[in-house]
């Protein structure tokens, strides 16, 4: 396994800084500014088409950078627990897993003597690039703690607000692609012509506009928050709720087993934090130093 230095398309952050320092000394600041502008304009256009991604180590989850912003969390058309809709402002950028954490990624933690010391049951669906399942909320937290120690960065579960912000990716419909689930866009009970009856590889289907895969369906995803049956009293700054029933934790996304209504961006559900389920996995968040 490689070290903890962040890799960004072949250019480390240290290398970029050294290059800028050298060019500023070598040429006049004015000439260098022109060169940077010429370089930056096409780079921004490229970034808009392809979200910025990085890994902190070879076995670490692929992460994408999410910029700060304000969005409306929840829904006033609540079927059950999704109201009231309320504004949330994410004040700092953060990085979130492009995919649900895979069995292969989990395996690295097991081989390091953590994460229970054995791979969870895969129900004979195959492991590798499928989402890890049959992990408790505490198991998921332990994985983030192991990643943090390995990389020197702060990994953790997303807050429920961060999760919904990243899943919506600037959209306000039931799904990032619109209000109708359609066919062939996700893995759920009524998402396709046939029912999969199992998980699919984490890079199945099209990603959302911010590059996240399977924010709707495949596996439910543990988030950090304690359970509350509504958003009444929820924080407005994107932090997790630590009041309420903390023996139960929030899960988001819906899964292969559930119907499309349970996959909606605002849909929320709970589970006993001790539960191991063939329908629950998670994705990680990494704090971005500022
Ligand atoms: Ca999912």
Distance CA 222, CA 204 (A): 20
As residues whose CB is below 5 A from the ion ligand 1, the structure lists 214, 218, 253
What does the pLDDT average to over 177-187? 97
pLDDT tens per residue, range 69-108: 999 999 998 678 999 999 999 999 999 999 999 999 999 9
Kindly give the distance from the C-alpha atom of residue 268 to the centroid of ligand 1, in angstroms, as a whole number.
12
9-12 long-range contacts (CB < 8 A, ≥24 apart) are none
Q: How far apart are CA 214 and CA 66, in angstroms?
A: 17
pTM of the model: 0.84
Token pair 């629950």 is found at 280
Distance 16 CA to ligand 1 centre (A): 35
Token pair recorded at residue 242:
């630590």
- The answer to whether 285 and 156 have CB atoms below 8 angstroms apart is yes
Domain 7-287 has CATH 3.40.1710.10: no
218 pLDDT higher than 70:
yes
Who wins on pLDDT, 138 or 15? 138
CA of 252 to the centre of ligand 1 (A): 7
- 222's CB contacts (< 8 A; 6+ apart) are 135, 137, 140, 157, 249, 250, 251, 280, 281, 282
CA of 39 from ligand 1 middle (Å) equals 37
pLDDT digits 0-9 by tens, 238-272: 999 999 999 999 999 999 999 999 999 999 999 99
CA of 79 to the centre of ligand 1 (A): 20
Determine the pLDDT at residue 50: 75
How far is ligand 1, taken at its centre, from the CA of residue 264, in Å?
Answer: 11
pLDDT(2) > 50: no
Distance 275 CA to ligand 1 centre (A): 17
For 16-73, how does the pLDDT look when each residue is reduced to its tens digit (9 = 90+)? 334 444 444 444 444 334 333 433 433 344 345 578 999 999 999 999 999 999 999 9
Describe the chain by its helix, strand, coil percentages, rounded to 5: 25, 20, 55
Q: Please tell me the distance between residue 197's alpha carbon and the centre of ligand 1 in angstroms.
A: 15
Decide if pLDDT at 174 tops 70: yes
C-alpha 238 – ligand 1 centre gap (Å): 20
SS3 175: strand
Q: How far apart are CA 20 and CA 240, in angstroms?
A: 38
Q: List the chain domain ranges.
A: 7-287
Q: How far is the CA of 99 from the centre of ligand 1 (A)?
A: 8
């Amino acid at each position: 396994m490689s070290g903890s230095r962040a890799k960004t398309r072949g250019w480390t952050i240290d290398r970029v800084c050294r290059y800028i320092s050298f060019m500023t000394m070598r040429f006049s600041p004015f000439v260098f500014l022109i060169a940077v502008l010429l370089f930056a304009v096409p780079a921004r256009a490229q970034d808009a088409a392809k979200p910025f991604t990085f890994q902190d180590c070879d076995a670490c989850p692929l992460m994408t950078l999410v910029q700060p912003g304000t969005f409306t969390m929840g829904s006033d058309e609540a079927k059950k627990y999704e109201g009231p809709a309320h504004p949330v402002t994410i004040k700092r950028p953060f990085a979130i897993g492009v995919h649900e954490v895979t069995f292969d990624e989990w395996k690295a933690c097991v081989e390091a003597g953590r994460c229970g010391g054995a791979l969870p049951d895969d129900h004979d669906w195959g492991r590798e690039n499928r989402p890890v399942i049959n992990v408790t909320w505490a198991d998921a937290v332990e994985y983030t703690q192991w990643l943090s120690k390995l990389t020197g960065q702060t990994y953790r579960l997303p807050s429920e607000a961060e999760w919904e912000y990243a899943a919506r990716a600037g959209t306000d419909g039931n799904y990032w692609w619109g209000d109708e689930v359609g066919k062939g866009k996700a893995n759920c009970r009524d998402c396709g012509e046939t029912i999969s009856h199992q998980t699919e590889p984490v890079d199945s289907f099209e990603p959302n506009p911010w590059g996240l895969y399977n924010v709707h369906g495949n596996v439910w995803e543990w988030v950090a928050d304690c359970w509350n049956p509504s958003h009444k009293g929820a924080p407005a700054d994107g932090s997790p709720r630590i009041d309420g029933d903390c023996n139960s934790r929030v899960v988001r996304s819906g899964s292969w087993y559930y119907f499309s209504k349970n996959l909606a961006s605002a849909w929320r559900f709970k589970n006993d934090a001790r539960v191991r389920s063939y329908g629950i996995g998670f994705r990680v968040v990494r704090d971005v130093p500022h």
